[in-house]
Chain A
């Protein structure tokens, strides 16, 4: 479970609080939608909930943020990655660009953990299967459509077997058909017991997949 308890955050070198005091709970298998106008702190909320802020990017956090009962500030980046995956709005930067096939790209995370080869294969296949993108396995990651790239980036996160996912406007660069593809994938991930925090401009999409909606 992810818990934000009156968490507020400001970026390094700034005096304003990008995220005002916010409390939120994300339970396993639950999809929580976050809506709000621009500059209300949706992306910052994603960074804080996933622990990237302040663990990776620095800055000042007030209040408490817990992932599975442990304060995010006590966890290293790679430990956070195994507990909470983060999908950014631009999927192309989420792929390494150093792999010849989608399969290798998805396997990148488990390989980073130094897992046995058999387990890397098992996790990679399972992640591709969960998002129904096994057919992309041998494709070049650089030659995918926007929707496919987003799904492959998501598969790369799922291969780390996180208990939670934070999705920062995952459909902002996609057409309606591709957005529905991503929405379908989110529903499937939640069914598998993963808690999903979703920020989106598209309120229809949020209403479609979220069990609960929070407004910033």
Chain B
């Protein structure tokens, strides 16, 4: 099943022109694959053997690659808009959106903090000891600033009437062709079939 998922994802990525991104995600799993091999093949305590190591890696690929493809091909606003159009509540959608936006925001904030601390004479380069000493003055304002920003953003949402009752107006809905719907149903069917096959194998029927 994991092989099937990985193959389908690869085909979809090729069609979407995102195969490079997918390859990078797969490459990022190299350390995990190496440790899995090490534990299962070389260490007596692991004991699973090559087949177990390969199965674990395939499962990992089967979960990582579709998610990578999703975020490589779908803009966050489109995803959120579509979820809302499908009846997910505005708060749940906003929480997901905030989570998706959290990483780039944290990166931007970190750059600001580093620049501010450097301007005050903090040395963030050189030996690892110097770098380590520089971490505390960077992390503290980063965390406090992020917490304060959460509060500010909550207020900002309140003044945009985010708490109003009823459903939000959706200005547009991402296109959803018959072909896409058919593909989704087919994949859901395949997943159900895979689960049933797996359950049958486990119970021995």
B159 in contact (CB, < 8 A): yes
A181 in contact (CB, < 8 A): no
B105 in contact (CB, < 8 A): yes
Q: Are B161 and A81 in contact (CB under 8 A)?
A: yes
Q: Are A93 and B169 in contact (CB under 8 A)?
A: no
A147 in contact (CB, < 8 A): no
Q: Mark B139-160, 1 if CB is under 8 A from A, else 0.
A: 0000000000100111111111
Residues of chain A contacted by B165 (CB below 8 angstroms): 78
Bound form: Cα–Cα A77–B161 in Å: 7
Chain B residues with a Cβ closer than 8 Å to the other chain, count: 31
Task: Please classify how large the interface on chain A is, using the bins under 10, 10 to 19, 20 to 34, 35 or more.
Answer: 35 or more
Decide yes or no: A112 and B162 within 8 Å by CB, A88-B156, A97-B105 being known contacts.
yes
Nearest A-chain residue to B78, judged by Cβ:
A100
Min CB distance B6 to A, Å, is: 31
Nearest A-chain residue to B100, judged by Cβ:
A98
Which residues of B from 90 to 140 have beta carbons under 8 Å from A?
90, 94, 97-98, 101, 105
Q: List 22 A-B contacts (CB under 8 A).
A: A52-B155, A57-B155, A76-B163, A77-B161, A77-B163, A78-B162, A81-B159, A81-B161, A85-B159, A86-B159, A93-B152, A97-B101, A97-B105, A98-B101, A100-B75, A104-B77, A112-B161, A114-B164, A114-B167, A114-B168, A115-B169, A120-B171
With A52-B155, A78-B163, A98-B97 given, can you name 13 additional A-B contacts, CB distance below 8 Å? A52-B158, A94-B159, A98-B76, A98-B77, A104-B77, A111-B168, A112-B90, A113-B169, A114-B166, A114-B168, A115-B169, A117-B171, A120-B169
**Interface, chain B (partner A; CB < 8 A):** 75-77, 80, 90, 94, 97-98, 101, 105, 149, 152-171
